[in-house]
Amino acid sequence: MMKRTLSLALAGMLACAALAACAPVSGGSDSSEPSSAPSSEAASQATSSTEETSPWLVTLDSTIVDVQPLIAVDPYAPGAFGGEPAEQHIIRTLCLYTDTAGKTGVIDMDGNIFYESSVDLEYCPVCMLATKDDHRKATGDGTLSEEPIGHGGFASSYYCREDCTVYQLDMEGYVPLPEEFLGGGIYEAVAKKDQLEGFSIPATDDFVLLAEGGTLLVERAEKAFLCLLPDEKSPVYGVCVNGMYGFIDLEGQTVIPLKYEGAGAMSEGCVPVRKNGKWGYIDTNDQRITEFLYEEARPVINGKAYVKDDGLWHVIGVPGAE
């Protein structure tokens, strides 16, 4: 796992953007149009009315078909910017949202749109946010860099089953990763080294999990993802083995048994999981903290989470979030 160091200036600009008034997206608004800031009185009335009639803190427009927190796309995103805790806090609250046309914008946990989906952004581990078509960088103040930018990316590492070795890409191609750099974590797996001859490796649903120093903990997983916990506990990994999801730590100890149909990133002591076809939330002791009611559920951020119900995305408060 490699920690990326990105522009502090962009984090500062995102912090400024977050302090500006942005309009929460509610059912009936058109997310494809620039949002206008409501008065504090209007916003208060809308929130009060919603709380009286439903559990939803915010309801997004029906044109939004998916929401993914940046910490679910890349757990390193907030810390990658460095800077003050307040700046990292703002990065932590941002989500990518996708509209019915497949275009992507940026929204926060209160439904405030930072970039309309017409801009069509994607997450980049080096630039953070850039346009998909020409890789112009999102500057954080609602604008884009005038010229496309290039970047060096970051080296991908693969576990080779042929010789039980981790390989990393350098200027000469894939070479064995030096032992001193072999940390624990998730690695995509390939069967033979000759699959690593090119610079573009096909996506795979074959993963392994290694302990620090390279000991094999999970030999084969269909999916795997990292959860970085803010209290500096040892990282926890979500894994899917034989179609069932659970969580283990880097010592191979089971944190939550492999018994769920789906799972998202653990955060703030809460975990979104799917059971009997519906999503809900459990705590880190595998105790239920919400009913299993939702079509989709995303990780908890600042005590809130995006969930999907009856085709619409909403924000809910999650009880018990730390």
Please, are residues 304 and 317 in contact by the beta-carbon 8 Å criterion?
yes
Residue type, 239: V
257 found inside a domain: yes
For 74, 167, 175, 204, the CA distances from 187, given in Å and listed in that order, are 15, 10, 15, 11
Note down the domain range covering 110. 8-131
145 found inside a domain: no
What's the average model confidence in pLDDT over 128-154?
77
Q: Which of residues 188, 221, 254 is at a domain's end?
A: 221
Do 272 and 318 sit in the same domain of this protein? yes
Do 198 and 238 sit in the same domain of this protein? no
Lowest mean pLDDT among 121-135, 157-171, 177-191, 276-290: 121-135
138 found inside a domain: no
Give pLDDT tens digits for 35-73: 333 323 323 333 433 445 678 999 999 999 999 998 888
What's the average model confidence in pLDDT over 266-275?
94
CA distance 199 to 132: 20
Average pLDDT, the chain: 79
45 found inside a domain: yes
14 φ, ψ (degrees, to nearest 5)? -65, -35
Residue 41: which residues within 8 A CB-CB, separation 6 or more?
A: none
Question: How many structural domains compose the chain?
Answer: 3
CA distance 184 to 72: 19
136 found inside a domain: no
